[in-house]
């Protein structure tokens, strides 16, 4: 069961165990700087293309923004360029007043009024939404993108790891994914310097030592909600090790990973906390870090922050704590809050020595993934009646091709400053450079319970948070965790007729 939520500027995602080993993305040669295309495709259709661009929606002319908020113009500028190339075509950006994009898709698609091009998570197109509401773009990925000089296959400029990750079990690809959520530590360079810390820690034990130094200088080391979703993927992946992760990903004999893989791994004892001590060995390690953190944030609900809550991001942006463990949107949050300090970042440091099970596997990329905002799909006539107009699909496809070049991917993503552009040759903003390298690492996103429903997984989150907050002993947490997994497995096995 894929789980994710976007709220209050925080994107949290848990996508079970995924295994991909191809390194690509940020860090390639510079973005294309060759002359613009001189021969463009001929488009016969004329009309208005509607697009829901999510976080990249350009600010409407004349709209007053919040203080320190970036006025997004990248897509607006590109739209004007496209409209100039194709007189008679207009790009209209929609900005729905409600945030439940799943409900929006299901309601509008059922009525045949969905937007022509729109954002949603690839997991939903693969496993949740009805089939046939968006086009399979896989065949077009193998065709040239005419807006990239010399291009023979559109996907040749894409990150192959992300293309593989977002592909549906049947091989379909329902959207173009051009950005990445990195997860790591973001720190206040001024407060680090005040405590005599000249560079970010390279090991977990060094991280704890830095926390002690900060506290000795009367600086609160950090603050954030104990987000189990991210911690489990970094720590569990490391403690299971590459060989075990590969084994888990092979049970279904299908590319990537499935709920079936996780369920079989649980049945075999690999992901069973009652049989494998690695599953919870890391919990005390994370709890020790939180003993230095601001205690007021430990009990804040991970998915329902109270209005006005002093969350980790709020305290960090105000310069009241030195660190947060958060996503790549954090520097942008600081900027919008008026923070006057330089933000540094570092990925999960080496976990060697944290427990007797810790391995040398660099799991720092396992918490992030392609669950950001540049995920655009094209509606079929079944979901959007206007797409039945002759030539309209080609026009919408070409608009998507136009914005999905390395140069335009970087232009769109970096202006927002919350995510990492992923097309080959692109580079992130400076504040995200340290975590952008996660794209080039082995990628095994393992949370130990992909077969759980969203409600069942929330139970696990709550158990972890109560333990970290000191409200539950490790023994009690293990008992409750094992019981919750056992019940979830029984239900899943019965429903899917597992042997």
What is the structure's pLDDT at 103? Answer: 85
Measured in residues, the chain has a length of: 499
Q: How far is CA 159 from CA 25, 134, 172, 329, 493, in A?
A: 5, 22, 17, 21, 35
What is the structure's pLDDT at 448? Answer: 83
Per the listing, tokens 């090790």 go with: 241
Q: Which two tokens stand for residue 248?
A: 């888990």
Mean pLDDT across 194-205? 96
Q: Which CATH number fits domain 18-181+370-442: 3.30.70.890, 3.40.190.10, 3.90.226.10, 1.10.10.10?
A: 3.40.190.10
Mean pLDDT across 346-370? 93
Superfamily of domain 183-367+450-496: Periplasmic binding protein-like II (3.40.190.10)
**Cα 493-498-499 angle, rounded to 5 deg:** 130
Count Cα neighbours of 472 within 13 Å in the Cβ-side half-sphere.
20
How many helices (H) and strands (E) are present in the chain, helices listed first? 18, 15
| Rounded Cα–Cα distance for residues 413 and 262 (Å) | 33
Query: Residue 384 pairs with which residues in a beta bridge?
Result: 113
Q: How far is CA 321 from the centre of its chain?
A: 25
| Rounded Cα–Cα distance for residues 111 and 38 (Å) | 40
What is the structure's pLDDT at 29? Answer: 36
What is the structure's pLDDT at 102? Answer: 86
What is the structure's pLDDT at 445? Answer: 78
Mean pLDDT across 400-411? 98
Cβ-Cβ contacts under 8 Å for 393 (sequence gap 6 or more): 135, 378, 387
Can 18-181+370-442 and 183-367+450-496 be said to share one CATH topology?
A: yes
| Rounded Cα–Cα distance for residues 448 and 16 (Å) | 7
The pLDDT tens digits of the residues spanning 266-289 come to 999 999 999 999 999 999 999 999
What is the structure's pLDDT at 13? Answer: 36
CB 58 within 8 Å of CB 403? no
The pLDDT tens digits of the residues spanning 208-249 come to 999 999 999 999 999 999 999 999 999 999 999 989 988 988
Mean pLDDT across 21-31? 38
What is the structure's pLDDT at 10? Answer: 38
- Whether 8 shows a pLDDT value over 80: the answer reads no
Give the strand pairing for 19-20 and 117-119.
unpaired
The pLDDT tens digits of the residues spanning 83-137 come to 999 999 999 999 876 566 788 899 999 999 999 999 999 989 988 899 999 999 9
| Rounded Cα–Cα distance for residues 415 and 395 (Å) | 26
Query: CA-based diameter of the chain, in Å?
Result: 70
User: Between these two residues, 217 and 304, which has the higher pLDDT value?
Assistant: 217
Give the strand pairing for 220-222 and 179-180.
unpaired
Query: Residue 93 pairs with which residues in a beta bridge?
Result: 51
Cβ-Cβ contacts under 8 Å for 305 (sequence gap 6 or more): 7, 8, 225, 311
Mean pLDDT across 485-498? 90
What is the structure's pLDDT at 5? Answer: 37
Share of the chain above pLDDT 90, in %: 66
3 state DSSP class of 363: coil
The pLDDT tens digits of the residues spanning 77-94 come to 999 999 999 999 999 999
Give the strand pairing for 3-7 and 10-14.
antiparallel
- Whether 14 shows a pLDDT value over 60: the answer reads no
| Residue extents of the structural domains in the chain | 18-181+370-442, 183-367+450-496
């Amino acid at each position: 069961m894929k789980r994710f939520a976007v709220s209050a500027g925080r994107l949290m995602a848990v996508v079970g165990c995924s295994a991909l080993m191809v390194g690509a993305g940020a860090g390639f040669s510079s973005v294309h700087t060759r002359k613009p295309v001189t021969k463009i495709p001929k488009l016969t259709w004329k009309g208005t293309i509607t697009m829901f661009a999510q976080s990249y929606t350009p600010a409407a002319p004349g709209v007053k923004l919040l203080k320190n908020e970036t006025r997004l113009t990248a897509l607006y500028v590109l739209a004007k360029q496209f409209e100039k190339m194709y007189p008679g075509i207009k790009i209209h950006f929609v900005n729905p007043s409600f945030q439940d994009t799943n409900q929006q898709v299901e309601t509008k698609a059922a009525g045949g009024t969905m937007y022509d091009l729109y954002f949603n998570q690839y997991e939903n197109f693969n496993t949740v939404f009805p089939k046939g509401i968006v086009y399979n773009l896989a065949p077009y990925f193998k065709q040239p993108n005419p807006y990239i000089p010399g291009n023979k296959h559109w996907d040749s400029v894409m990150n192959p790891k992300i293309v593989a990750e977002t592909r549906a079990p049947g091989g379909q690809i329902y959207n173009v994914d051009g950005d990445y959520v990195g997860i790591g530590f973001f720190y206040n360079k001024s407060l680090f310097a005040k405590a005599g810390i000249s560079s970010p820690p390279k090991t977990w034990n060094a991280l704890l030592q830095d926390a002690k130094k900060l506290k000795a200088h009367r600086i609160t080391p950090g603050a954030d909600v104990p987000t189990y979703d991210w911690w489990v993927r970094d720590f569990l992946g490391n403690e299971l090790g590459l060989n075990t992760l590969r084994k888990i990903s092979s049970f279904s004999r299908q590319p990537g990973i499935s709920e079936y893989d996780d369920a079989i791994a649980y049945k075999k004892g690999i992901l069973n906390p009652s049989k494998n001590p690695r599953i919870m060995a890391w919990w005390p390690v994370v709890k020790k870090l939180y003993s230095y953190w601001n205690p007021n944030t430990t009990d804040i609900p991970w998915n329902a922050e109270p209005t006005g809550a002093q969350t980790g991001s709020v305290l960090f942006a105000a310069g009241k704590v030195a660190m947060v463990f958060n996503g790549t949107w954090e520097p942008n949050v600081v900027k919008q809050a008026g923070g006057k300090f330089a933000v540094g970042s570092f990925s999960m440091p080496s976990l060697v020595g944290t427990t007797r099970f810790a391995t040398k596997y660099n799991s720092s990329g396992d918490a992030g993934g392609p669950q950001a905002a540049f995920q655009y799909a094209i509606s079929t006539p079944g979901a959007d009646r206007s797409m039945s107009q002759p030539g309209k699909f080609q026009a919408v496809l070409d608009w998507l091709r136009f914005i999905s070049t390395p140069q335009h991917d970087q232009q769109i993503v970096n202006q927002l400053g919350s995510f990492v552009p992923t097309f080959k040759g692109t580079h992130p903003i400076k504040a995200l450079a340290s975590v952008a390298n996660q794209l080039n690492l082995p990628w095994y996103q393992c949370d130990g319970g992909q077969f759980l429903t969203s409600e069942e997984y929330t139970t696990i989150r709550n158990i972890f948070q109560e333990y970290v907050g000191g409200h539950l002993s490790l023994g009690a947490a293990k008992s409750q965790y094992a019981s919750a997994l056992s019940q979830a497995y029984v239900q899943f096995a019965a429903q899917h007729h597992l042997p």
